[in-house]
Amino acid sequence: MATQMAGTTAQKALTITLAVTGASGSLFAIEMLRCLEQDARVAHVHLVVSPSALRVMAEETGLPGRNQLVEHILGAPSTKIVQLSHENIGACIASGSSPVDAMIVLPCSMGTLAGIAHGIAGNLIERAADVCLKERRRLVLCVRETPFNLIHLRNMAAVTEAGATVYPAIPTFYNHPQTIADIARNYVHRVLQHIGLPQPGAYAWGANTAS
């Protein structure tokens, strides 16, 4: 059940799109989904998982495929999160008339980055991202690849110029994480803070240091 965030001012309930593509980093996506489910400031989550992401998720976490994916991740059904088909370009988020406050692609593969950078809109993830750009909505692309080649870098520059934020899936260690879950959680907290959803208990550098 969603819990109210302590110490936050009243704001309208948000609608978020979370897209998961076929790059390594399923644990980041799973942690993001859990945070969005628990955040009372988020009313609706549109989840789109590419076929490649389903395969990577199965390899990295052992989670089953498309059927009841959200329930398997959360341990219970969700009334907030709706999974949309990657092929359904007629879904609500494919239109600018559908209100979405922000879209996060986590992880974002180089193929998805290329599709967004060049306006291909060949599937629901690319089309929903294209809508965010044209409607001047927040779009965060959590790219995951190493090393980057020149094509990757140019595509990152192109989406940045178009209004997206490139937020590489790079972990932090100054917060002294003890587990892989700690690493994923801190990264997700930083992405959510970037779209205006600071999380309770999130690590903040110098927060407990006297000035």
Given phi > 0 = left and psi -120 to 50 = alpha, else beta, which region is 164?
A: beta
Q: Write the pLDDT tens digit of every residue in 36-82.
A: 999 999 999 999 999 999 999 999 999 876 678 999 999 999 999 99
Pairing between β-strand 14-20 and β-strand 102-108 as defined by DSSP bridges: parallel
Pairing between β-strand 102-108 and β-strand 138-143 as defined by DSSP bridges: parallel
User: In this structure, are residues 193 and 185 in contact, taking their beta carbons and an 8 Å threshold?
Assistant: no
Q: Which two tokens stand for residue 60?
A: 């990295």
All structural domains of the chain with their residue ranges: 16-194
How much of the chain is in helix, strand and coil states, percent to nearest 5?
40, 15, 45
Model confidence at 10, pLDDT cuts 50, 70, 90, reads low
Q: Write the pLDDT tens digit of every residue in 110-154.
A: 999 999 999 999 999 999 999 999 999 999 999 999 999 999 999
Q: Is this structure's pTM higher than 0.95?
A: no
CATH topology for 16-194 is: Rossmann fold (3.40.50)
What is the C-alpha radius of gyration for the chain, rounded to an integer number of angstroms? 17
Tell me the C-alpha distance between 4 and 141, whole Å: 27
Could you tell me how many residues make up the chain? 211
Q: DSSP for 65-123, please give it.
A: -STTHHHHHHSS--SSEEEE-TT-TTSGGGSTTS--SEEEEEEE-HHHHHHHHTT---S
Q: H or E segment at 130?
A: helix 124-134
State residue 207's pLDDT score.
75
